[in-house]
């Protein structure tokens, strides 16, 4: 092997090692979760990547301190009762439209916006804030947040700590205000 070939092989090895390091580092940026527990991720401010896709194709990372109450609602268009749940949620969202201290993140799992929009139209659902709809096409974020049901909602306080959670459909008319106020007050389930 000539000296030039040795340098190229050594340089190629360094480049490959650097690429593998960056890939391993990026893959490791996932906040810790507890799959053996029945609650969602306890702390969004632990760092990492929890990516959801916006309508324009850009991504939003849910990690960090939201600085306001963050309601993360998961739903599957295949779930029985999902349309009725979303209709009640949209009514609650419309009733709190003036509340700038609440960030609604409605995540449709394992879908894209074309199929989500056709499902919404078929069920005569019109979101009061279309920008609050996101998709999780591969289900990665849903899994990382430890969502185990086809319909589930997590209420995070302004520091990014899980304040409460509904397992299955929520009573948006009766309990949403209480859960939002509880999260706003800094409550956690820890």
Residue 190 lies in a domain: no
Count the domains in the chain.
2
**What is the C-alpha separation between 107 and 132, in angstroms, rounded?**
8
Give the domain CATH number at 159: 3.40.30.10
Residue 82 lies in a domain: yes
Is 68 found in the same domain as 130? yes
Give 56-107 pLDDT, tens digit per residue: 999 999 998 899 999 999 999 999 999 999 999 999 999 888 888 999 999 9
Going 71 to 77 to 78 to 79, the CA torsion angle's sign is positive
Residue 25's pLDDT is 60
Residue 189 lies in a domain: no
Is 63 found in the same domain as 9? no
Residue 57 lies in a domain: yes
Is 91 found in the same domain as 10? no
Give 150-165 pLDDT, tens digit per residue: 899 999 999 999 998 8
Is 12 found in the same domain as 48? no
**At 157, is the secondary structure helix, strand, or coil?**
coil
Phi, psi angle pair for 153, to nearest 5°: -135, 135
**What is the C-alpha separation between 66 and 167, in angstroms, rounded?**
22
Is 39 found in the same domain as 11? no
Q: Mean of the pLDDT values across residues 161-186?
A: 88
Residue 85's pLDDT is 93
Task: Determine the structural domain holding residue 18 and report its residue range.
Answer: 1-28
Is 75 found in the same domain as 9? no
Residue 102's pLDDT is 94
Give 104-155 pLDDT, tens digit per residue: 999 998 789 999 999 999 999 999 999 999 999 988 888 888 888 889 999 9
Determine how many CB atoms are found less than 10 A away from the CB of residue 115. 13
Is 10 found in the same domain as 48? no
Residue 14's pLDDT is 83
Does position 29 have pLDDT exceeding 60, yes or no?
A: no
Give 33-50 pLDDT, tens digit per residue: 445 455 567 888 877 788
**At 79, is the secondary structure helix, strand, or coil?**
coil
């Amino acid at each position: 092997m000539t000296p030039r070939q040795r340098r190229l092989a050594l340089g190629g090895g360094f480049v490959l090692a650097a690429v593998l390091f960056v890939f391993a580092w990026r893959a490791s940026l996932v906040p810790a979760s507890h799959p053996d527990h029945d609650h969602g991720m306890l702390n969004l401010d632990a760092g990492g990547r929890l990516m959801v896709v916006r309508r324009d194709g850009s991504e939003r990372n849910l990690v960090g301190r939201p600085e306001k109450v963050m309601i993360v609602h998961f739903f599957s268009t295949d779930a029985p009762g999902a349309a009725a749940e979303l209709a009640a949620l949209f009514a609650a969202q419309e009733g709190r439209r003036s509340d700038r201290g609440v960030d609604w993140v409605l995540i449709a799992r394992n879908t894209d916006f074309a199929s989500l929009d056709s499902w919404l139209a078929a069920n005569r659902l019109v979101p009061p804030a279309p920008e609050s709809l996101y998709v999780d096409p591969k289900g990665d974020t849903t899994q990382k947040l430890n969502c185990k049901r086809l319909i589930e909602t997590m209420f995070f306080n302004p520091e990014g700590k899980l304040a409460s959670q509904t397992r299955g459909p929520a009573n948006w008319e009766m309990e949403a205000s209480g859960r939002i106020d509880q999260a706003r007050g800094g409550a956690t389930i820890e």
